């Protein structure tokens, strides 16, 4: 059974992408075109073709035919990047995929047909994935990669599970579009050969002796007898996407619209791998090639682009640009596996924001160091064992940082300090600084001695008591053994 190859050709890939951008300088309702460095038209939209313009025309003739023509310079690197993004999107439908920069993709659907239960369901899924990205598409299937590319570039636009059906159409193609070297094509034309089928009918030995091995290798690749050298797609192990802006942006909030395109690509990356993103980095490059780095994070992790868009919007509102921005680069710094949300079965009303989402919004608005939480420090002295530290996102499988929240497991010294007192002897409320005792207590329970830091000038030697004051309140007191008679209140039992 002959092998099945499919080729997708996107003749207007870059122009289609520009016209789909809400912030694009091109108006889809008017004739639009991309021009190369030699001032020739390369890609045209439907309005430009209706005005009589054709690819390869010069700017002078184009301006004479259409006064409303909108022009943008063609960027080969940008179109190649778009093709790579499209290939990654289609990778979920076909693992045997090879890009043909800057406008083509090879696919070998054979191994996927059993999963999709036939060629037609597979092809429908592929078309649905391509439609939102590229409006212009030519395609073909054939028994070799070279034949599929040749047919697709000529607008064959037929895909079937039987590659032999495309062979008559391949034989009828003119030699002028076969992609042969100019000198070789001219020699064949002088022999009176006009169609590819006439060339295929000639003896191979005679062709090889007269025209050399180049023509022989071409015919072998066309008929599938010799494989075409392809570079298969290798999905990236980490996410990083770049967007070149077609005009400079000087107001930082306006960067949110183009950055949302990168966030949607990130969402697709996370969904395909069932991950949550915890920290992102956006690099802004200005016209002087200087960069500004903007990091923003989520405490609980997010997968949807809408959540990250809200966090990025808060960051951009307070950002001051050093110079107008011409490109954006979004990178995923930290990610982790996604777990199912735990929701109450009997909750009548759900909060607008979860605690983790609210913390993320506050961090984005006020700054990461402005939102703090109490953590346990590695210290025996009560007023130093509890400290405030910036909120850290909890990534599954990673450490939680230098300090742990009070709900987390205690550090060794903190656990030892708790063990010094029986159950119930640690007050719920501690003073940040011990207060001098103002009145004599009614009753004392204790003492328990705490002696530490003897190797430092500020050593601690205390006797702790649980005491009931004259007001009836229960307090935690200690006597400083270095200053006999000096009593202090450490906290309240409540």
pLDDT (tens place) for every residue of the chain, 494 residues total: 568 999 999 999 999 888 887 667 788 889 999 999 899 999 999 999 999 999 999 988 998 889 899 998 998 988 998 899 899 889 889 989 999 999 999 999 988 988 899 999 999 999 998 988 887 899 999 999 999 999 999 999 999 888 889 999 999 999 989 888 888 888 888 888 999 999 999 898 888 888 888 899 999 999 988 888 899 998 877 888 888 887 888 888 989 988 998 999 899 889 888 899 999 999 999 888 889 999 888 877 889 999 999 989 988 988 888 889 989 999 999 888 887 665 555 555 555 666 777 777 777 777 777 777 777 777 778 887 777 777 765 544 444 443 444 433 333 343 433 444 444 467 878 888 888 988 888 778 888 888 887 777 778 889 999 888 888 888 889 998 888 888 999 888 87
Q: Provide the pLDDT for residue 415.
A: 42
Say if CB 302 and CB 275 are below 8 A apart.
no
Give the burial class of 493: count Cβ atoms within 10 A of its Cβ; 0-12 exposed, 13-18 middle, 19 or more buried.
middle
Nearest partner of 280 among 242, 330, 238, 336, judged by Cα: 330
Q: 326 and 248 in contact (C-beta within 8 Å)? A: yes
Domain 5-169 has CATH 3.40.1170.60: yes
User: Distance between CA atoms of 463 and 247, rounded to whole angstroms?
Assistant: 71
Residue recorded with tokens 């008679």: 485
Cis peptide before 102 (omega within 30 of 0): yes
The CATH superfamily assigned to 240-337 is DNA polymerase, Y-family, little finger domain (3.30.1490.100)
The Cα–Cα gap between 67 and 60 comes to 11
Look up the pTM and report it.
0.67
* Residue the block writes with tokens 């509102």: 317
| Interior angle at CA 92, CA 241 and CA 116, nearest 5 | 165
274: left (phi over 0), alpha (psi -120 to 50) or beta: left
* Beta-strand relationship, 70-73 and 32-35: parallel
CA distance 289 to 272: 34
CB 282 within 8 A of CB 330: yes
Q: Which residues pair with 330 in a beta bridge?
A: 241, 282
Give the C-alpha separation, 246 to 19, whole Å: 12
Longest dimension (CA), the chain: 120
Give φ, ψ of 231 to 5 degrees. Answer: -110, 100
Smallest Cα–Cα separation from 90: which of 44, 35, 128? 128
Hey, what are 483's tokens?
A: 């200053």
**What value does the CA radius of gyration of the chain take, rounded to a whole number of Å?**
35
The three-point CA angle 448-449-454 to 5° equals 165
CA dihedral 86, 87, 88, 89 (to 10 degrees): 50
Helix (H) / strand (E) containing 261:
helix 256-273
Q: Please give the DSSP secondary-structure letter assigned to residue 252.
A: G
Between the two ends of the chain, the Cα-to-Cα distance in Å is 82
Give the pLDDT confidence score for residue 346 in this predicted structure. Answer: 59
Residue 346 neighbours by CB distance under 10 Å = 4
What's the Cα-to-Cα distance from 369 to each of 277, 309, 354, 373, 459, rounded to whole Å? 20, 21, 20, 10, 31
């Amino acid at each position: 059974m002959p092998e099945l190859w499919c080729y997708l050709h996107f003749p207007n890939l870059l122009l289609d992408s520009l016209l789909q951008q809400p912030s694009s300088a091109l108006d889809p309702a008017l004739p639009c075109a991309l021009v190369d460095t030699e001032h020739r038209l390369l890609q045209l939209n439907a309005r430009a073709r209706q005005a009589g313009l054709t690819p390869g025309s010069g700017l002078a003739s184009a301006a004479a035919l259409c006064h409303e023509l909108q022009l943008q310079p063609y960027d080969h690197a940008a179109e190649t990047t778009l093709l790579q993004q499209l290939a990654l999107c289609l990778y979920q439908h076909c693992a045997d995929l090879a890009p043909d920069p800057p406008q083509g993709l090879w696919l070998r659907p054979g191994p996927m047909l059993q999963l999709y239960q036939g060629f037609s369901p597979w092809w429908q899924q592929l078309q649905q994935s391509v439609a939102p990205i590229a409006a212009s598409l030519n395609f073909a299937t054939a028994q070799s990669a070279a034949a599929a590319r040749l047919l697709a570039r000529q607008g064959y636009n037929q895909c079937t599970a039987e590659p032999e059906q495309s062979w008559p159409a391949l034989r009828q193609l003119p030699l002028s579009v076969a992609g042969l070297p100019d000198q070789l094509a001219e020699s064949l034309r002088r022999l009176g050969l006009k169609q590819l089928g006439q060339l295929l009918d000639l003896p191979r030995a005679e062709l090889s002796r007269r025209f050399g091995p180049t023509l022989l290798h071409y015919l072998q690749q066309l008929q599938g007898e010799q494989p075409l050298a392809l570079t298969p797609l290798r999905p990236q192990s980490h996410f990083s996407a770049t967007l070149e802006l077609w005009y400079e942006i000087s107001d930082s909030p306006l960067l949110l619209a183009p950055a949302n395109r990168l966030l949607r690509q990130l969402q697709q990356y996370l969904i395909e791998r069932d991950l949550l993103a915890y920290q992102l980095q956006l690099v802004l490059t200005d016209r002087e090639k200087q960069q500004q780095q903007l990091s923003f994070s989520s405490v609980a992790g997010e997968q949807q682009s809408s959540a990250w868009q809200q966090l990025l919007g808060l960051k951009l509102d307070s950002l001051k640009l050093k110079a107008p921005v011409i490109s954006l680069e979004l990178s995923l710094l930290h990610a982790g596996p996604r777990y199912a949300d735990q929701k109450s079965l009997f909750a009548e009303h759900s909060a607008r924001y979860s605690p983790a989402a609210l913390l993320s919004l506050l961090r984005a608005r006020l700054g990461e160091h402005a939102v703090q939480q109490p953590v346990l420090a590695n210290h025996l002295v009560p007023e130093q064992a509890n400290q405030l530290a910036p909120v850290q996102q909890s990534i599954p499988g990673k450490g939680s940082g230098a300090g742990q929240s009070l709900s987390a497991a205690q550090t060794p010294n903190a656990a030892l300090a708790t063990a010094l007192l029986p159950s119930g002897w640690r007050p719920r409320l501690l003073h940040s600084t011990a207060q001098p005792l103002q009145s004599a207590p009614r009753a004392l329970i204790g003492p328990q001695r705490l002696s530490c830091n003897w190797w430092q000038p500020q050593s601690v030697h205390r006797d702790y008591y649980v005491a009931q004051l004259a007001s009836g309140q229960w307090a935690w007191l200690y006597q400083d053994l270095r200053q006999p008679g000096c009593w202090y209140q450490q906290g309240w039992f409540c």
